[in-house]
């Protein structure tokens, strides 16, 4: 097994170590790794959700930014607004118990779960209605194609 220095690792992964030795990812690496566009990352930065370091015009994302992006994407996946996600993330205190953050997250999650369950019920109803309609149309097609050709004239 070959030992690789942080600089060599960075060269192989497009990640750059900072002064503390933490691996920083460039915007392109973040985009590929998390399946988001460069525009999305810049948008999240504009909204105050991400705060990459800068080296000139190059954005460098820390481990904290990576964790925040994962939370943003999870929040969006389950239907939270970016405002909700930001509210929950901004309450994080690395030195505290974070009970306020956890309570807010639980409250918002319970409300979102209720919304999703209502949406599921509506979708299930729509699927059942559409399936019933499709069955009726299929039956009508069978009846009309099985009828003698002379009856169609």
What parts of the chain have a pLDDT lower than 50? 1-12
pLDDT at residue 5 in the model: 41
Q: Residue 34's domain is classified under what CATH number?
A: 1.10.1660.10
Residue-by-residue DSSP string for 95-118: TS--HHHHHHHHHHHHHHHHHHHH
Q: Is residue 17 part of a domain?
A: yes
Question: Given the DSSP bridges, would you call strands 53-55 and 23-26 parallel, antiparallel or unpaired?
Answer: unpaired
Q: Is residue 127 part of a domain?
A: yes
What whole-number distance in Å separates Cα of residue 86 and Cα of residue 113?
19
| Domain enclosing residue 120, as ranges | 97-147
Q: Is residue 153 part of a domain?
A: no
Q: Is residue 152 part of a domain?
A: no
Instruction: Tell whether 10 and 84 lie within a shared domain.
Output: yes
pLDDT at residue 21 in the model: 61
- The contacts found for 51-59 with CB under 8 angstroms, 24 or more apart, are 52/27, 53/18, 53/24, 55/16, 58/26, 58/27, 59/26, 59/27
Instruction: Tell whether 66 and 130 lie within a shared domain.
Output: no
Q: How many domains does the chain have?
A: 2
Instruction: Tell whether 85 and 26 lie within a shared domain.
Output: yes
Instruction: Tell whether 42 and 86 lie within a shared domain.
Output: yes
Sheet holding 23-26, edge to edge: 15-17, 23-26, 58-61, 53-55
Among 54, 39, 51, 53, which Cα is nearest to 90's? 51
């Amino acid at each position: 097994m070959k030992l690789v220095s942080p600089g060599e690792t960075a060269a192989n992964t497009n990640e750059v170590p900072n002064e503390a030795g933490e691996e920083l990812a460039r915007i392109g690496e973040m985009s590929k790794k998390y399946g988001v566009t460069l525009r999305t990352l810049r948008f999240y930065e504009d909204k105050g959700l991400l705060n990459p370091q800068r080296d000139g015009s190059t954005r460098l994302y820390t481990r904290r930014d990576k964790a925040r992006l994962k939370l943003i994407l999870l929040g969006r996946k389950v239907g939270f607004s970016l405002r909700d996600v930001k509210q929950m993330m901004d309450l994080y205190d690395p030195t505290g118990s974070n009970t306020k953050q956890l309570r807010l997250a639980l409250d918002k999650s319970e409300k979102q779960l209720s919304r999703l369950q209502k949406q599921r019920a509506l979708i299930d109803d729509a699927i059942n209605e559409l399936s019933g309609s499709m069955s009726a149309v299929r039956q009508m097609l069978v009846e009309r194609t099985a009828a003698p050709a002379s009856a169609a004239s």
